[in-house]
Structures are given as C-alpha cells and as structure tokens.
C-alpha cells in the first residue's frame, strides 16, 4: 500500500451533518431559508458582529459588497499583489481602476509603507487581505485611510476562527468577507459570507443578494441593478455542522504549525513563513519558501507527498496592466510552496513530511 500524504486533509462532522441534512430534506428546506438564517446568526456570534449575510462563494461576497457600495467606473481600489485572483476579478468586472501594492518581505500581507504611497484623491476603497491566517494590522490601515474618507474592506477568507479583537474581521472596518471553500477551516463545499456592524449596509446587502428585488404590497418591484448571490439551506447544514468543530480544528492547526516550525526552523534552504500564534493567528496552511522549489516539489512527489506551488501574484496576470515594484510579492510567487496541512492530518504523516524535508536539505548541501 502506498503511504500517500495529501495536501489538505479534511474530515467533515459527518454524523451531525447527516442528521441536519435529513431534517432539511424531510421539511423541503432546499433553497435559502430558515436554516441559512440560523447559520447566519451563528456566524454573527462567532465573529462578534451583529450582521452576517451568506453568499454562494467568498468571491461573490466581495463582488456583492462592491456592487452595494455603488462605486463608479474608474473609481480607484487598492489591493495587495498577493491575494486570491477574485480580489482582482471582482473590481475588474465592475470597471474600477485597480492599484496593486507590494507585500512585506517576510509575510505576504500588504506593505503599509507601500500602501501610503499608492493612495490618491481618487482612492475610494482599500482591501486589507489577511492571507494564510496572517493578520494585517487593520488599525494602522484605518489610520492611513481616516483623513481621506476611504472605505476599508477586509478579505478574511483565510483567517476565520481568530478571536483577536484588535486586528480584523470587520470590527473596525466597514465589512469583512469570508470563504467556505473546501480548504477552509469551516467549509460548505462552496459559499461565503459578509460580516458587518452597519445595519444600513446589511439591509442593502440582503436586497442586492436577491437581484435587488423589493416586495411592496405583495408585489415584486425592481429597485436597482443587482444579481443572485443566494446561499442554500443544504449548504447551511454543512456549515452549521462544521462550525461546531471550529475551535477544535483551530487548536489542531496551531499544533501542526508548531510541529513544523520547531522541526524545520533551522533548515538553511527551506524557510517556513511565520505565523504569530500569540495574537491568535490561525495557520490555515503550512507554507514555506525555497529557491529550490521545483526540485523540492519533484522530490516530495516521488515520496508520495502532495504539495502545491504558490499561485501567481496579481501583477503577473497578463490582462491586468499595472506599474510598480512588486519585488516581495514576486519572490513569494516564485519560491512559495504549500506543504501538507489540515486539521485532520495525522501526526505520522506530518513526521513523514518533516523527515523528507530534512533528507532533501541534506542532499542539496
């Protein structure tokens, strides 16, 4: 039997979810309804904000937010050069002017000094992306934007579960959006949500999630241009089941990170990208940088260990012409590698990966 180590090991809360799904099917709760509302209330409590709006993906959550802000074509939006591609695509679809900002040299999150230099009088929105569990100092971002009346949105897709009250998740910004895709700490297969403390924004999001349709005197009225971003009660069953295990999963992820960090921190040619557990960052992935990425990828593959190179930076998209120095983000793009992780990855599998990393290190010395 081949001893294979998968990139992300995921174990759904199967028994509870099956019971919840059985209830939904028996009661014909298929589309967005009362189970979605139940899930939204639980999400609201989890992130510590009064309002949560579920959507059909984290990507569409961002698009819904931008539509709801009524931005005009040509308005400037600033995003970091290291993020998932939907953060580039959503504003591009709406015709916004995108400005990219380089990231820090040790962590792939937005460089605040570079951010300050990119802001102009036309800047309407800054997107602070908490990447791979690493928190952006949102208070510093708020200080930069405060005098300029700039809206701050947080992409919290990869930090769901943190209890840090000072750094993010929409407590200080206008809103934060999250993802429930399969590699996240809580997953419904696909899906996402927006969290906000603004009641007026919440009402607009609810309206725009369903084509902007209002009901007046039992008759539908087309109120404004929007689209279908709705969630389903079937997905809510998965999400509610997973939400029960969030603290257990977070602790497992932190233990896995500590194991990797302590074992490979002294390797010369493979460097783990740091996570700060003291401020309750959640190491959703175990990611490293190495100038020998291709060789390491191939070596691990031969040992039946699944890995994945970092996805490209936004400035590398050929359809997005942009100017600027993105030295740090390109470094991560060219040298980053995701190692096997996931809250249900067995320790013997982790030990196999660590042994193999050390074997590779010895070979290239």
DSSP structure string for 18-64 = HHHHHHHHHTT--SSSHHHHHHHHHHHHHHT-SEEEEES-HHHHHHH
CA 309 to chain centre: 17
Q: Once rounded to an integer, what is the mean pLDDT over residues 104-111?
A: 97
Q: Which residues lie below 8 Å from residue 342, measured CB to CB, with a gap of 6+? A: 6, 7, 8, 9, 10, 183, 253
Burial annotation 293-316 (CB, 10 A radius, 16+ → b, else e): beebbebbeebebebeebeebbbe
The 10s digit of each residue's pLDDT in 197-253 is: 999 999 999 999 999 998 776 778 888 899 999 999 999 999 999 999 999 999 999
Query: Average pLDDT of 48-74?
Result: 96
pLDDT digits (tens, 9 = 90+) for 241-254: 999 999 999 999 99
- Residue ranges per structural domain of the chain: 14-243, 246-364
Q: How does pLDDT run across 5-56, given as a tens digit for each residue? A: 888 777 777 888 899 889 889 999 999 999 999 999 999 999 999 999 999 9
Tens-place pLDDT, residues 141-199: 999 988 788 999 999 999 999 988 776 578 889 999 999 999 899 999 999 999 999 99
| pLDDT above 70: percentage of residues in the chain | 98
CATH fold group of domain 246-364: 3.90.1150
The helix (H) or strand (E) run that includes residue 274 is: none
Residue 2 clears pLDDT 70, i.e. is over it? no
Q: What is the CATH code for 14-243?
A: 3.40.640.10
Please count the other Cβ atoms lying within 10 Å of the Cβ belonging to residue 12: 17
- Tell me the two tokens of residue 104: 């820090």
């Amino acid at each position: 039997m081949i001893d294979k180590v998968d990139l992300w090991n995921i174990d759904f809360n199967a028994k509870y979810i099956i019971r919840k799904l059985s209830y939904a099917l028996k009661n014909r709760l298929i589309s967005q309804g009362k189970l979605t509302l139940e899930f939204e209330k639980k999400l609201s409590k989890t992130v510590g904000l009064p309002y949560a709006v579920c959507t059909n993906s984290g990507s569409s959550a961002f698009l819904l937010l931008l539509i709801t802000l009524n931005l005009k074509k040509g308005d400037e939006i600033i995003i970091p050069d290291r993020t998932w591609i939907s953060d580039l695509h959503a504003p591009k679809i709406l015709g916004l002017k995108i400005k990219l900002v380089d990231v820090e040299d040790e962590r792939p999150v937005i460089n605040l000094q570079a951010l300050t230099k990119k802001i102009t009088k036309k800047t309407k929105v800054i997107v602070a992306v908490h990447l791979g569990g690493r928190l952006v100092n949102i208070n510093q971002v708020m200080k930069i934007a405060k005098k300029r009346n700039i809206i701050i949105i947080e992409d919290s897709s990869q930090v769901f579960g943190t209890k840090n009250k000072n750094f993010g998740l929409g407590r200080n910004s206008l809103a934060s959006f999250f993802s429930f895709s399969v590699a996240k700490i809580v997953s419904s297969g696909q899906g996402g949500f927006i969290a906000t403390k603004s009641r007026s924004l919440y009402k607009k999001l609810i309206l725009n999630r369903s084509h902007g349709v209002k009901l007046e005197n039992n008759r539908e009225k087309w109120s404004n241009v929007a689209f279908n971003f709705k969630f389903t009660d079937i997905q809510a069953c998965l999400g509610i089941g997973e939400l029960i295990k969030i603290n257990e999963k977070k602790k497992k992820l932190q233990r896995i990170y500590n194991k990797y960090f302590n074992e490979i921190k002294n390797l010369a040619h493979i460097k783990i990208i740091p996570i700060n557990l003291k401020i309750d960052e959640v190491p959703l992935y175990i990611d490293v940088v190495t100038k020998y990425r291709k060789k390491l990828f191939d070596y691990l593959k031969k040992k039946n260990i699944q890995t994945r190179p970092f996805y490209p930076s936004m400035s590398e998209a050929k359809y997005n012409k942009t100017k600027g120095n993105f030295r740090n983000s390109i470094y991560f793009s060219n040298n980053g590698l995701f190692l096997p992780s996931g809250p249900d990855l067995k320790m013997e599998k982790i030990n196999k990966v660590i042994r193999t990393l050390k074997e590779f290190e010895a070979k290239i010395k």
